[in-house]
Structure 1
Amino acid sequence: MELLHVHIGQGGYEERDDVIRDITFTLEAGQLVGLIGPNGAGKSTTIKAILGLIKLTKGDVRFCGPEGSHAYIPEQPILYEELTLWEHLELAAAAHGMTDELFRERAEELLKRFKLNEVRHHLTTSFSKGMQQKAMLVIGFLSRPDVYIVDEPFIGLDPKATKELLDTLNAERQRGAAILMSTHVLDTAEKICDSFVLLSSGETVAQGDLESIRRQCGMPGASLFDCFHTLT
């Protein structure tokens, strides 16, 4: 089942309206797609265009799942200074119309999983960057949407938190969710992603599974890292 359809003919900003061009891909239920590219390739602009945050976008972006729901987990934590972690979760639950029983069940599970149970009533301004990143993950996973859009999720996470993130992503895929993940951690991306969209200078230079990427860059048996540097 297709959960996200992306066709961006052109997207950008007032100073330059063609930062990204001719980007087309889909996300199927249970699929994890890696959005890969060097700094300045257009990854962030692509994500913003998908989320409807760029007015100067020409194309067609559709969330096609049963609920049409999605969650965005940004690279830099976005948290309210005056709210505790639990209050952030309550706010997210209210925004998604979750029942109190369902909210508490999922919140307790996620707080325990990401080792934030003891700081649930602390202000998030007191958290380390890694803890703030884990807080964003808990908030993002709370509603269990059809589609996740995750931007550089591994930055700031220790090895245990990284494993919990990977396990949670896998569980959500098994549930039927689709995931678009932008990352520079290519060795991990190679292991966990079903397919890739490689961007360079605002355009798609290759896409498909790893075997397809290898064929497109003429490097049979190459790693994603080597293909990335050849194509970009």
Structure 2
Amino acid sequence: MGLKVDNLSGGYAGNQVLKNVSFTIEDGCIIALIGLNGAGKSTTINHIIGELHPQSGQITLNQVNIVEAPTAFKSQIAYIPEQPILYDELTLAEHLHLLLAAHGQDNDKSWDRVSRLLNMFRLQDKQHWLPIHFSKGMRQKVMLVSAFMLEAPLLIIDEPFLGLDTLAQRDVVTLIREQAQLGHSVLMTTHLLASAAKFVDQFVVLNNGQVDFVGTPSALADKYQLSVANLDDYFDLVRKETGA
């Protein structure tokens, strides 16, 4: 089933940013939502996580409609924002306990997953640290642990590689692939198209609030007469086309 965005129009304070956006993420699929700054990527994500109300159209996740059953819809999502969001007064361990409890998963099985993730991102000995002691990269890793430990039906990651070292970037790709292998859907945004092309199933391209292209990395490369390895040049070509 997965996520279905059907003719979504919406935006902020009456300003229409999205115009009849439609795409689907089947179970076990990894989709990268891409486009120039201002194309509508963040607005799309904010609608999917329930921060914005659609002006028209529908968003469903495993046949649960976000407007009709917002709590049931949101309970199926794990979200990693571009900028980490942490509570200053909670330690790392307290953050994880709180989030697991909110999803009814604060048990030994979940903490087995947590331990693996903490070790992977070299945070195992930081569980009693407060956020004030974390670097920007460590804060991002805390967000990654918080999301991946839930094994949610839909994982949304806004710029997953931002602020991460090379080893952590590789670990994130491994975890994303594992989520897909479990049959979960993954939606991510990125400007690193050549890197994403190695593991995503499809790109969904937004341009001026509309879906401009949906297809495989190789199909996107062919459209712009690029090699997959040179897909990062896509943005330069689009800027020249649009004058952006």
TM-score, normalised by the number of residues in structure 2: 0.87
1: CA distance between counterparts of 2:231 and 2:80?
24
- Note closer, same or farther for the CA distance 1:169–1:20 as it changes in structure 2 (3 Å cut): same
Q: Which moved more, 1:60-69 or 1:142-151?
A: 60-69
Q: Does 1:19 align with 2:17?
A: yes
Maintained 8 Å contact 1:8/1:57? no
Q: Which moved more, 1:162-171 or 1:85-94?
A: 162-171
**In the TM superposition, what whole-angstrom CA distance separates every residue of 1:94-120 from its partner, at most 9, and x where no partner exists?**
001014212321211111111100111
Instruction: Tell me the C-alpha RMSD between the 2 structures.
Output: 2.0
Q: Which runs of 5+ in 2 are unaligned?
A: 65-71, 240-244
- Note closer, same or farther for the CA distance 1:103–1:210 as it changes in structure 2 (3 Å cut): closer
| Counterpart in the other structure of 1:48 | 46
Aligned-pair identity in percent equals 40
Maintained 8 Å contact 1:65/1:146? no
1:221 Cα offset (Å): 4.4
Q: Does 1:107 align with 2:114?
A: yes
Maintained 8 Å contact 1:198/1:228? no
1:77 Cα offset (Å): 0.2
TM-score, normalised by the number of residues in structure 1: 0.91
The correspondence for 1:138, drawn from 127, 142, 145, is: 145
Maintained 8 Å contact 1:27/1:178? yes
2: CA distance between counterparts of 1:85 and 1:57?
38
| Counterpart in the other structure of 1:10 | 9
Residue 191 of structure 1 aligns to a residue whose secondary structure is: coil
Alignment of 1:114-153 (within 5 A): 114-153=121-160
1:82 Cα offset (Å): 0.3
1: CA distance between counterparts of 2:197 and 2:126?
34
Q: Which runs of 5+ in 1 are unaligned?
A: none
Number of equivalences: 229
Q: Which moved more, 1:31-40 or 1:204-213?
A: 204-213
One-letter amino acid of the counterpart of residue 93, structure 1? L
One-letter amino acid of the counterpart of residue 128, structure 2? H
Q: Does 1:167 align with 2:178?
A: no
Residue 164 of structure 2 aligns to a residue whose secondary structure is: coil
One-letter amino acid of the counterpart of residue 87, structure 1? E
| Counterpart in the other structure of 2:164 | 157
One-letter amino acid of the counterpart of residue 22, structure 1? N
Maintained 8 Å contact 2:33/2:204? yes
- Note closer, same or farther for the CA distance 1:165–1:174 as it changes in structure 2 (3 Å cut): same
Q: Does 1:74 align with 2:81?
A: yes
**In the TM superposition, what whole-angstrom CA distance separates every residue of 1:159-206 from its partner, at most 9, and x where no partner exists?**
111111111111111111110010111221121111001112111111
**In the TM superposition, what whole-angstrom CA distance separates every residue of 1:50-78 from its partner, at most 9, and x where no partner exists?**
11211243111011179961111100000
